[in-house]
């Protein structure tokens, strides 16, 4: 288990998106990184000159650092897909406590929607990669095809009809949250009929089972407890943080119904010294509706196969008793490719009480779970305000 | 023969035997003599127990559908004429799982079920490359 003595030693002190999200053809991915870092540092009340630790994914920090004029003495470009940015919370916690850096910035920027070059930053197109040799020749490539295969297995084990209903519940409830987020891409109402009528992308996935593809960036700033207390905004403490991964290709996934959150979740909660019932807000990567269903079970919110009961009757919608993905998620708010950092931004804003119409009543604790690759990797962190 | 426009594997040193056997219409896996497991994909050190005591072993080519999906939106231009098509993971006798296509059946969930028996067929997609695929057994 990660060292529980490190709980509350580091805080997130700044969080922000880049200036424009959605369809942004006039900005590069790196510009999204820089704008997001600029906005997050302003939010933190810190200067770029304070930054001595730089974290990102997709790009090497050699590139992001040069672009922004940062010369870090600690850097981390861990690329485990969309989970990277949540995983890097744990890495920043370790680095700050080891004295390797004092002000850490995690940046993200992607132009999944409008980018002029093909989205090759993940390196997945190297012909040496096992998926290029064993999966892509069969037309098995990209998250929708892979995740839909995992979902079919879930349906086989736990029932197709109740699984389908659960996917619809998640799509519809997430859209309701997005309707209250001015930055969300998809804000028109979605009915259950709309969900069921949306076209097939890869059966069993409808279009509305799948996340958006947008242009966007975001960043968060972390520093020591001592420094955090002197900054203008309420520190958002890192109580627990952990990561895990157990495969790369979906065809090597040990159990298609269980994500690596089954390890990272309990580790982060144990480190934080809290239980599921203490959590006021769950921010769970929703690359697909199925990702949420499988992750809720893997995190231990309910037993395997009980996810459809857990999310029934719009329990996760505004006004429901389980606050989930209040930004509108990757499904309806934004998803540029690797969405994990946006989970953190929303958790910070909710804990600080900055969410306007969609603000939860006085939340103190949020669990954030990023998922990356083909359900390959997870990072879980528990955040809190005093 | 029309030009083949889909992605092709580029065999690597540890997988040359796999693709050579496929070209000969045989499906070969790797067997670990220490932990007595049979695994896919080809690599000389066992991913189950890290033993080097492994060797290629021919598969019966029989197995069951572990899971599947029906692709409606082509992931690359090469598949545009193929949609909808069936992607799957097949669990072979002996336990190894292999990503593949199910062919010879209409791509409709009504025709497919997890657990159905399947057997290997070989698709000579180019002069150099043969892809092992699967059809419903019997």
Closest Cα in chain A to B107: A203
What is the pLDDT averaged over residues A330-353? 98
Write the pLDDT tens digit of every residue in B3-17.
899 999 999 999 999
Q: Which residues pair with A3 in a beta bridge?
A: none
Write the pLDDT tens digit of every residue in A181-207.
999 999 999 999 999 999 999 999 999
Band of pLDDT at residue A118, cut at 50, 70 and 90? low
Is B129 in the A-facing interface, judged by CB distances under 8 Å? yes
> Are B97 and B40 spatial neighbours (Cβ–Cβ below 8 Å)?
yes
Contacts of A204 in chain B (CB under 8 A): 69, 109
Nearest to A145 among B8, B87, B109 (CB): B87
Is A141 in the B-facing interface, judged by CB distances under 8 Å? yes
What's the whole-number average pLDDT of chain A? 96
- Quote the percentage of chain A above a pLDDT of 90: 95
Q: Which helix (H) or strand (E) holds A284?
A: strand A281-284
Question: Considering only CA atoms, which of A381, A371, A311 is closest in space to residue A83?
Answer: A371
> Could you give the CA distance from residue B75 to residue A320 in angstroms, rounded to a whole number?
37
Q: Which residues pair with B133 in a beta bridge?
A: B121
> Are B39 and B29 spatial neighbours (Cβ–Cβ below 8 Å)?
yes
Contacts of B12 in chain A (CB under 8 A): 128, 133
Q: Which of A195, A244, A285, A290 is catalytic?
A: A285
Say what the pLDDT of residue A2 is: 83
Structure tokens at A170: 């998640």
Say what the pLDDT of residue B1 is: 53
* Residues of A (102-131) whose Cβ lies below 8 Å from B: 127-128, 130
Band of pLDDT at residue A122, cut at 50, 70 and 90? very low
What lies within 8 Å, CB to CB, of A315 at 6+ separation is: A169, A173, A321, A322
Contact A137 B75 (CB under 8 A): no
Count other Cβ atoms within 10 Å, centred on residue A4.
Answer: 13
* Residues of B (23-82) whose Cβ lies below 8 Å from A: 40-41, 66-76, 79, 82
Write the pLDDT tens digit of every residue in B91-137.
999 889 999 999 999 999 999 999 999 999 999 999 999 999 999 99
Look up the CATH architecture of domain A4-119+211-384: 3-Layer(aba) Sandwich (3.40)
Give the phi and the psi of residue A375 in degrees, each rounded to 5: 55, 30
What's the whole-number average pLDDT of chain B? 96
Contacts of B87 in chain A (CB under 8 A): 138-140, 145, 149, 202
CA dihedral A170, A176, A177, A182 (to 10 degrees): 140
Contact B72 A202 (CB under 8 A): yes
Structure tokens at A11: 């805080």
Q: Judging by beta carbons within 10 Å of its beta carbon (0-12, 13-18, 19+), is residue B16 exposed, middle or buried?
A: exposed
Contact A138 B82 (CB under 8 A): no
Say what the pLDDT of residue A123 is: 41
Say what the pLDDT of residue A280 is: 98
Band of pLDDT at residue B138, cut at 50, 70 and 90? confident
**Measured at the alpha carbon of residue A306, what is the angle toward residues A304 and A308, in degrees to the nearest 5?**
125
Contact B98 A251 (CB under 8 A): yes
Write the pLDDT tens digit of every residue in A36-76.
999 999 999 999 999 999 999 999 999 999 999 999 999 99
Contact A138 B99 (CB under 8 A): yes
Band of pLDDT at residue A172, cut at 50, 70 and 90? very high
Give the phi and the psi of residue A32 in degrees, each rounded to 5: -60, -40
Contact B10 A132 (CB under 8 A): yes
Q: Which helix (H) or strand (E) holds A380?
A: strand A377-384
Band of pLDDT at residue A120, cut at 50, 70 and 90? very low
Contacts of A202 in chain B (CB under 8 A): 69-73, 87
Closest Cα in chain B to A252: B97
Say what the pLDDT of residue A127 is: 77
- Quote the percentage of chain A above a pLDDT of 70: 98
Distance from CA of A112 to the nearest CA of B (A): 15
What lies within 8 Å, CB to CB, of A110 at 6+ separation is: A29, A32, A58, A119, A121, A215, A216, A217, A336, A337, A338
Distance from CA of A50 to the nearest CA of B (A): 44
Band of pLDDT at residue A128, cut at 50, 70 and 90? confident
What is the pLDDT averaged over residues A246-261? 98
> Could you give the CA distance from residue A127 to residue A351 in angstroms, rounded to a whole number?
44
Structure tokens at A329: 């998620």
DSSP assignments along A245-283, one per residue = E--SSGGG-S-TT--THHHHHHHHHHHHT--GGG-SEEE
């Amino acid at each position: 288990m990660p060292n529980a003595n490190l709980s509350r030693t580091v805080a997130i002190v700044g969080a922000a998106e880049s200036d424009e999200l959605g369809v942004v053809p006039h900005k590069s991915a790196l510009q999204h990184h820089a704008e997001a870092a600029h906005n997050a540092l302003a939010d933190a009340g810190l200067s770029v000159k304070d930054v001595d630790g730089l974290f990102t994914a997709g790009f090497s920090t050699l590139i992001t650092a040069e672009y922004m004029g940062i010369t870090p003495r600690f850097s981390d470009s861990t690329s485990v897909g969309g989970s990277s940015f949540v995983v890097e919370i744990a890495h920043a916690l370790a680095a700050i406590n080891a004295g390797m850096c004092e002000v850490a910035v995690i940046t993200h920027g992607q132009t999944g929607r409008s980018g002029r070059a093909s989205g090759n930053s993940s390196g997945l197109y190297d012909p040496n990669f096992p998926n290029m040799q064993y999966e892509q020749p069969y037309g098995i490539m990209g998250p929708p095809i892979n995740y839909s295969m995992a979902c079919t297995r879930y349906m086989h084990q736990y029932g197709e009809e109740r699984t389908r209903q659960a996917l619809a519940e998640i799509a519809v409830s997430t859209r309701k949250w997005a309707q209250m987020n001015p930055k969300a891409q998809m804000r028109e109402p979605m009915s259950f009929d709309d969900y069921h009528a949306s076209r097939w992308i890869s059966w069993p996935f409808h279009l509305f089972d799948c996340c958006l593809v947008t242009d966007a960036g975001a960043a968060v700033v972390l520093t020591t407890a001592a420094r955090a207390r002197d900054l203008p905004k309420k520190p958002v403490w890192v109580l627990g943080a952990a990561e895990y991964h157990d495969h790369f290709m979906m065809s090597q996934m040990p159990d298609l119904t269980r994500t690596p959150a089954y390890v990272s979740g309990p580790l982060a909660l144990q480190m934080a010294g809290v239980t599921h019932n203490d959590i006021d807000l769950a921010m769970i990567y929703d690359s697909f509706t199925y990702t949420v269903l499988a992750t809720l079970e893997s995190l231990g919110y309910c037993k395997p196969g009980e996810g459809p009961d857990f999310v029934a009757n719009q329990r996760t919608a505004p006004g429901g008793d389980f606050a989930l993905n209040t930004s509108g998620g990757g499904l309806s708010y934004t998803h540029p490719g690797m969405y994990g950092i946006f989970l953190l931004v929303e958790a910070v804003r909710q804990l600080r009480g900055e969410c306007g119409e969609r603000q939860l009543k006085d939340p103190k604790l949020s669990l954030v779970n990023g998922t990356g690759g083909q359900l390959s990797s997870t990072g879980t962190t528990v955040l809190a305000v005093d | 023969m029309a030009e083949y426009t889909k992605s092709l594997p580029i065999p690597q040193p540890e997988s040359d035997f796999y693709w050579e056997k496929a070209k000969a219409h045989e499906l070969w896996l790797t067997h670990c003599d220490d932990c007595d497991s049979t695994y896919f994909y080809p690599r000389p050190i066992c991913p189950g127990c890290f033993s080097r005591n492994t060797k290629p072993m021919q598969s019966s080519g029989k197995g069951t559908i572990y899971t599947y999906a029906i692709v409606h939106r082509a992931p690359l231009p090469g598949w545009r004429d193929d949609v909808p098509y069936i992607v799957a993971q097949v669990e072979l006798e002996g336990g190894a799982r292999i990503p593949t296509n199910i062919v010879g059946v209409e791509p409709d969930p009504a025709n497919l079920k997890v657990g159905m028996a399947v057997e290997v067929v070989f698709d000579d997609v180019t002069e150099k490359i043969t892809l092992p695929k699967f059809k419903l057994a019997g």
